[in-house]
Structure 1
Amino acid sequence: MVVLQGVVGFRDVGGIPAEGGMIRTGRLFRSGHLAAADADGAMFLKTSVARIVDLRSDEEAQADATAVAGIPITRLPLYLGSTRSFFEQDFSLGEIYAHLLAESSAQLVDAVRVIAAGEPTLVHCTAGKDRTGVVIALALSAVGAERNAVVADYARTADLIPAGHRRATSERLAAKYPQSQHAWMLATESPAEVMAQTLSDLDARWGSASAYLRAHGLTDDELAALGAALVEPIPASAPVTTRGAHA
């Protein structure tokens, strides 16, 4: 895994088994914000990524401006309301993801459209966990990526956030929102069971991730393009090795 100094959770999601093949390497990346990327990291991104999808609010983007120039950025703020409300109303992670799917479908579809264009794309938010996690899980699931591997990729996110940062953030939020039972974990944790349940609920409500995207405006041609962009077919004669998660 490539480590970019100053960029939390950067990784290529390629290598996950999918229907008819594997998710391509070098095509879809995810991370936290890029404000602290060093010169080497910025150069790596310029040579590896052709498009950035930034899911942060205007306030977040202004506070931590992207430190990488020369890569086109598509801004798609996902939280339509104040993130503060999630803490004040004591939302769980699962409830936040359900909120995103219910209230930000247009932005989610637009994010997937960028990925479907086929250019090497980096999707990021602030921590690279929740908004990024939902977009990545949707895109991968829509092309038939192995469910356990999609969930495992999401679950890795918390482990890639430095322990000191996780601890400090949890303590700060718990102190700021003492009545919230979930505040301590919202910004730092990525339990596998939360994404597994989110995707299960999506299937129960819409039938599949691809059906959800189609119902909210993604065309059949765009779904086909997404599959072509993300899935590298494996010849029928080639041996297939499946993995529950990618390294």
Structure 2
Amino acid sequence: MSDPEVPGAVNFRDVGGLPARAGTVRRGMLFRSGNLARLKPAGTRALAALGIRSIIDLRDDDEVAHAPSRLDGVEVHVTRLPLFLGSVESFFSNDVSLADLYRSLVDESAATIVEAVRGIAEGTPVLVHCTVGKDRTGVTIALTLAAAGVEERAIVADYARTETLLPAERNRKVVARLRALHPDAVHLEELATRSPAPVMEGMLAHIAAEHGSVAGYLRDSGLEPEVIDALRGRLIAE
């Protein structure tokens, strides 16, 4: 099945259909995307038609102020859960690798990730988004799917798809702007445009080494076992 058409949204897709140990992910339950600041009227109509009732916005205050979501006519509850520690700009200034960024997210922002997963478990059909839908959204969706029992290879493949869905012209402009600010940055293009499978595989391996599994990580970070059970029940069709 093709990705839903939501005019004005970037990197929008339904993660339904991915294989899990006990079945497949239900369609129409969990969506992911970049920001909703450029939705056209046809986009808001398409979003409403998908039946989404909850949106989890992982952006910080500055990002939201700069690019507010266009949701006129969509009856939806929006929960703000800023996920990054520090500004997005700081990651380019510090020239961190994507692998280090993800490790920092799961190690230092576990409480926020738990709240996002809880919101998904309690609020489906739900859309999770950040600015591009690559890193914060990618990590949150990956951990949600892993906790629900989705096969790791499918989680990694869904994450890796993102860089194929980012418009080339967008990438060119973003990289040029950032390169002017950080001419010597080694990881700039990876941070701005890439979603390499080995990075997600490494993040999941790090969690497994520290907590045994993603479900173990979420439990260790405060998510109740019954919420994980509810998540699996909502997302997985046997």
Q: What is the TM-score of this pair, normalised by structure 1? A: 0.92
Aligned match of 1:151: 156
Once structures 1 and 2 are overlaid, which stretch shifts more, 163-172 or 25-34? Answer: 163-172
Indicate which of 187, 198, 205 corresponds to 2:192.
Answer: 187
Question: What is the Cα deviation at residue 171 of structure 1?
Answer: 2.1
Q: Which amino acid aligns with 1:5?
A: P
Asked if 1:51 corresponds to 2:80, the answer is no
Question: What is the Cα deviation at residue 185 of structure 1?
Answer: 2.2
Percent identity, aligned pairs only, is 48
SS in 1 for 2:193: coil
2-structure distance, mates of 1:77, 1:168: 25
2-structure distance, mates of 1:171, 1:192: 25
Aligned match of 2:10: 8
SS in 2 for 1:117: helix
| Matched-pair contact (CA < 8 Å) for 1:23–1:231 | yes
Indicate which of 176, 179, 190 corresponds to 1:174.
Answer: 179
Within 5 Å, give how 1:89-238 maps onto structure 2: 89-233=94-238
Deviations 1:77-104 (A, max 9, x none): 0012122221122101111111111111
Question: What is the Cα deviation at residue 197 of structure 1?
Answer: 1.1
> Any gaps of 5 or more consecutive residues in structure 2?
none
Q: What is the TM-score of this pair, normalised by structure 2? A: 0.95
Question: What is the Cα deviation at residue 12 of structure 1?
Answer: 0.2
Question: What is the Cα deviation at residue 4 of structure 1?
Answer: 1.7
1-structure distance, mates of 2:123, 2:5: 24
Alignment length (residue pairs): 233
Once structures 1 and 2 are overlaid, which stretch shifts more, 130-139 or 203-212? Answer: 203-212
2-structure distance, mates of 1:223, 1:184: 35
Question: What is the Cα deviation at residue 118 of structure 1?
Answer: 4.6
Distance 1:118 1:53, change over 3 A: closer
Asked if 1:25 corresponds to 2:47, the answer is no
2-structure distance, mates of 1:224, 1:118: 14
Deviations 1:169-191 (A, max 9, x none): 12221221122100122121111
State the Cα RMSD in Å: 1.0
Once structures 1 and 2 are overlaid, which stretch shifts more, 93-102 or 126-135? Answer: 93-102
> Any gaps of 5 or more consecutive residues in structure 1?
234-247
